[in-house]
């Protein structure tokens, strides 16, 4: 079987000599791979001229819906992906992390895109900046898609998730992608890409695949392109220093393997629940994906007086995790992805043994269930002990990318913090502690050296996703050795593929550019009450100026009785006068809010279906008994919403800017209300 690439709308098997690929369990050949014959310059051009424009014509919400539909389609193809995933040596739980975890990332970004981004093609980043005294010259930051191609170079350990966690924010941003998986397991990536292309849901040119080498691809990169890399630090540094990357100032995001640590808190004793949770997590991170995770625990730090107990407990836990063919019942750990990894891990273990002793596992003598260790790519769980972590550098410098971990003692929390930093930057660290003061000291001490930290105790362990599981909601990356990059992190990840531009101009002009009303922009009025207009009929910036209402003592007394709010500033004239903020009795802020609603709400039935929420409420000046208030209600932003079910009304969310004034035209309150407004059918 020839593993194919997908370029310019066609599948290519490559020509010339090809690299053989093998089943990690049986050692049998599963196919060959070569990218020879691909025109890499044309692939980039195709992405920029075909895929990019197609994606940029879509709004963020349309792209988000695309992600959801692709994810649903992939769910229907899981069985065939599971079958191929087994060739990589993955257990069922390993496969779930890779296949289902990747699909879930698409679902998460779909939801966040629809909730947190506008149904538009421009994303507004932050609030308006006032740049002039009178407010006629203002600033705003906007983000728009880059007009190049995103090149994603992925590692062998997660052929599906590694691709999808990058594609989700890339597609949501509106940028096409060229995916280059590691050759060792590219046959699984190829299978998933085939399913994605067959779905017909992704615009032509938005997704291309290179199985094999990248040839001269880097020679044709330009300033609008983005490159992301996951893999070894040495390879990442080589790519990052490529002349095209440097001369064109191309965005390069690197996520490299690191020496992640797990710390047993100084407060935790054997027998405590946190001790058991710690032991289970260390063993799990050593054996899930056979330790082939960039986030796996490589260094385990324990209090000196609990060292022996911790090592014995971890050894016992590892002994309960059989190594072998994942298809055999009871096997919980599979092989490495290929024979080259076995040799690599063995060499690294030899280096680590120079700094300490082997306390569990023997690379030269181990049992394999249901498979031939001479044919498959098996490597046993290996636990080492280093008694001089500040004198021996190997545990902090050498990474065995497999089921290998080194246990080291610390005398104090300050020592633990210093030891964690010796890794020179990690993707993730974890702490098991029942003492929140210990948690604070460790977290603040090691945060500068870690991209993510997980703090576990009995309160959260039941729902924890684990030390080694990056989540689409949170950033994935780390400083120093970990590459200095950052992926995912919710909408933060989307912005990596967009250009942030500072706009300057009049509020009215920027309102039209951004499709969001800004303070100081024109506020035209109409004779028809805005609550009597359908979603499509409302214009950004159109404003209702209400009639006036004088606040009476009876209003304040009745509101206190209805709400139960008898705060002295509303009810006690002497105490209110002594308050340094108020001069006399003041109306309740929430009465002002309620009275304002009475001023701008239209009582008759109409297109407005419901009040959807209230944001950014500020009471800027007190309203006293006898003051007269009025409002300006301005259509600030419109977001069309899709039906969740056929029975739901066709509607959109309208954000209204509300400003409440007193009789001297001084602003006394500002906020944003959200209403659900009916859209016209058809």
pLDDT tens digit sequence for 217-265: 999 999 999 999 998 888 888 888 898 999 999 999 998 888 999 999 9
Catalytic positions, please?
A: 255, 294
* Segment 648-662 mean pLDDT: 92
Tell me the CATH number of domain 40-256+492-499, given options 3.30.460.80, 3.40.50.10610, 3.40.605.10, 3.40.190.10: 3.40.605.10
190 membership: H or E segment, kind and range: helix 186-198
pLDDT level of residue 31 (50, 70, 90 thresholds):
confident
- Residue 72, pLDDT above cutoff 80: yes
Asked whether residue 565 carries a pLDDT value surpassing 70, the answer given is yes
Burial class (CB in 10 A: 0-12, 13-18, 19+), 121: middle
Is 608 within 8 Å of 615 (Cβ atoms)?
no
CATH of domain 508-678: 3.10.129.10
- pTM, 2 dp: 0.90
Q: Measuring CA to CA, which residue among 257, 316, 180, 259 is closest to residue 477?
A: 257
Q: Dihedral of CA 264/266/268/269: which sign?
A: positive
Residue 320 pLDDT greater than 90, yes or no: yes
Among residues 459, 451, 398, the alpha carbon closest in space to that of 423 is found at 398
**94 near 289, Cβ under 8 Å?**
yes
pLDDT band at 418 (very low <50, low <70, confident <90, very high): very high
- Give the confidence band of 645 by pLDDT, cuts at 50, 70, 90: confident
pLDDT at 579: 86
pLDDT confidence of residue 20: 85
pLDDT at 682: 66
pLDDT of residue 263: 96
CATH H-level, domain 260-467: superfamily: Aldehyde Dehydrogenase; Chain A, domain 2 (3.40.309.10)
Looking from the CA of 169 toward its CB, the CA atoms found within 13 Å total 26
Q: What's the mean pLDDT in 422-435? A: 93
Domain positions in the chain are 40-256+492-499, 260-467, 508-678
Q: Which contiguous run of DSSP H or E holds residue 612?
A: strand 608-619
Quote the mean pLDDT of the chain: 92
* 3-state class percentages of the chain: helix first, strand second, coil last, to nearest 5: 35, 25, 40
Q: How far apart are CA 427 and CA 208, in angstroms?
A: 28
Phi, psi of 455 (to 5 degrees): -110, 120
pLDDT at 14 over 80: no
What single string gives the DSSP state of each residue in 619-647?
E-S--BTT-EEEEEEEEEEEEEE--SSTT
Q: What is the DSSP code string of 516-566?
A: S--TTS-----SS-GGGS-GGG--TT-EEE---EE--HHHHHHHHHHH---
Q: If pLDDT is split at 50, 70 and 90, which confidence band does 512 have?
A: very high
pLDDT-based confidence at residue 468 (cuts at 50, 70, 90)? confident
- The whole-angstrom separation of Cα 364 and Cα 341 is 15
Tokens 């849901």, residue? 201
**Six token digits for residue 267:** 């407060």
In the predicted model, is pLDDT for residue 630 greater than 90? yes
Q: Mean per-residue pLDDT for 508-518? A: 92
Residue 57 has pLDDT above 70, yes or no: yes
pLDDT tier at 282 (50, 70, 90 boundaries)?
very high
Could you give the CA distance from residue 414 to residue 114 in angstroms, rounded to a whole number? 44
Q: What is the rounded average pLDDT of the residues 645-657?
A: 88
Strand 150-153: give its sheet, edge to edge.
10-12, 5-7, 207-209, 177-180, 150-153, 226-231, 251-256
Per-residue confidence (pLDDT) for residue 270, from 0 to 100: 95
Task: Say yes or no: do domains 260-467 and 508-678 share a fold.
Answer: no
Nearest partner of 291 among 337, 325, 231, 254, judged by Cα: 337
pLDDT in tens, 364-413: 888 888 888 888 889 999 999 999 999 999 999 999 999 999 999 999 99
- 104-130 residue pLDDT tens: 999 999 999 999 999 999 999 988 989
Closest listed residue to residue 654, CA positions, set 677, 671, 679: 677
Q: CB–CB of 461/434 below 8 Å?
A: no
- Burial letters 630-653, b for 16+ CB under 10 A, else e: bbbbbbbbbbbbeeeeeeeeebbb
Of 409, 486, 416, the C-alpha closest to 446 is 416
The DSSP letter of residue 446 is H
Provide the pairing of β-strand 667-678 with 651-661.
Answer: antiparallel
Provide the token pair at 404: 């290998």
Cα-to-chain-centroid distance, residue 158: 17
Summarised one tens digit per residue, pLDDT across range 588-618 is 999 999 999 999 999 898 899 998 889 999 9
What is the gyration radius of the CA atoms in the chain, in angstroms? 30
| pLDDT at residue 30 tops 90 | no
Element (H, E) at 238: helix 233-240
């Amino acid at each position: 079987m020839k593993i194919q690439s997908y370029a310019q709308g066609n599948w290519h098997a490559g020509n010339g000599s090809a690299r053989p690929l093998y089943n990690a369990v049986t050692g049998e050949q599963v196919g060959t791979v070569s990218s020879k014959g691909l025109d890499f310059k044309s692939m980039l051009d195709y992405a920029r001229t075909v895929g990019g424009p197609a994606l940029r014509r879509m709004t963020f919400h349309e792209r988000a819906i695309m992600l959801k539909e692709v994810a649903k389609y992939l769910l229907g193809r899981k069985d065939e992906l599971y079958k191929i995933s087994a060739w990589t040596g993955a257990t069922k739980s390993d496969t779930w992390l890779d296949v289902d975890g990747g699909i879930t990332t698409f679902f998460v970004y779909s939801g966040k895109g629809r909730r947190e981004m506008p149904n538009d093609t421009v994303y507004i980043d932050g609030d308006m900046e006032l740049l002039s005294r009178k407010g006629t010259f203002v600033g705003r930051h906007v983000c728009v898609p880059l007009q190049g191609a995103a090149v994603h170079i992925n590692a062998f350990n997660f052929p599906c998730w590694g691709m999808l966690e990058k594609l989700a924010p890339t597609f949501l941003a509106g940028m096409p992608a060229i995916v280059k998986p590691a050759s060792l397991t590219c046959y699984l990536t190829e299978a998933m890409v085939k399913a994605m292309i067959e779905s017909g849901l992704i615009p032509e040119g938005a997704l291309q695949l290179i199985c094999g080498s990248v040839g001269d691809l880097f020679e044709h990169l330009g300033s609008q392109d983005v490159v992301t890399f996951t893999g070894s630090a040495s390879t990442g540094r080589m790519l990052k220093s490529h002349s095209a990357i440097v001369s064109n100032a191309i965005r390069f995001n690197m996520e490299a393997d690191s020496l992640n640590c797990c710390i047993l808190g100084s407060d935790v004793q054997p027998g405590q629940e946190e001790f058991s949770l710690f032991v289970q997590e260390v063993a799990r991170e050593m054996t899930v994906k056979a330790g082939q995770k960039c986030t796996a625990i490589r260094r385990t730090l324990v209090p000196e007086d609990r060292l022996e107990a911790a090592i014995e407990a971890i050894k016992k836990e590892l002994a309960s995790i059989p190594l072998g063919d994942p298809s055999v019942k009871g096997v919980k750990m599979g092989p490495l992805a290929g024979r080259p990894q076995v040799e690599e891990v063995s060499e690294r273990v030899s280096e680590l043994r120079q700094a300490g002793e082997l306390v569990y596992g023997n690379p030269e003598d181990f049992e394999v269930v249901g498979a031939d260790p001479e044919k498959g790519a098996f490597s046993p769980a290996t636990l080492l002990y280093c008694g001089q972590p500040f004198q021996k550098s190997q545990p902090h410098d050498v990474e065995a990318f497999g089921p290998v971990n080194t246990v080291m003692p610390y005398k104090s929390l300050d020592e633990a913090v210093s030891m964690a930093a010796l890794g020179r930057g990690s993707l993730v660290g974890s702490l098991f502690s029942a003492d929140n003061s210990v948690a604070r000291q460790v977290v603040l001490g090691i945060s500068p050296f870690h991209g993510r930290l997980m703090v576990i105790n009995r309160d959260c362990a039941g729902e924890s996703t684990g030390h080694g599981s990056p989540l689409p909601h949170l950033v994935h990356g780390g400083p120093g050795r970990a590459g200095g990059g950052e992926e995912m992190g919710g909408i933060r990840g989307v912005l990596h593929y967009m250009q942030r531009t500072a706009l300057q101009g009049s509020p009215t002009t920027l309102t039209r550019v951004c499709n969001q009303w800004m303070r100081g922009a024109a506020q035209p009025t109409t004779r028809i009450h805005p609550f009597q207009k359908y979603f499509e009929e409302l214009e950004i910036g159109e404003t209702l100026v209400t009639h006036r209402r004088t606040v009476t003592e009876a209003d304040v007394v009745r509101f206190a009785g209805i709400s139960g709010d008898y705060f002295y500033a509303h009810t006690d004239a002497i105490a209110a006068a002594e308050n340094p903020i108020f001069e006399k009795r003041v109306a309740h802020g929430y009465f002002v809010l309620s009275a304002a609603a009475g001023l701008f709400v239209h009582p008759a039935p109409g297109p407005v279906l419901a009040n959807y929420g209230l944001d950014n409420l500020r009471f800027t000046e007190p309203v006293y008994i006898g003051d007269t208030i009025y409002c300006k209600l301005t259509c600030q932003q419109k977001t069309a919403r899709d039906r969740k079910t056929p029975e739901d009304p066709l509607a959109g969310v309208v954000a209204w800017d509300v400003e409440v004034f007193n009789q001297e035209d001084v602003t006394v309150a500002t906020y944003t209300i959200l209403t659900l407004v009916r859209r016209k059918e058809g």
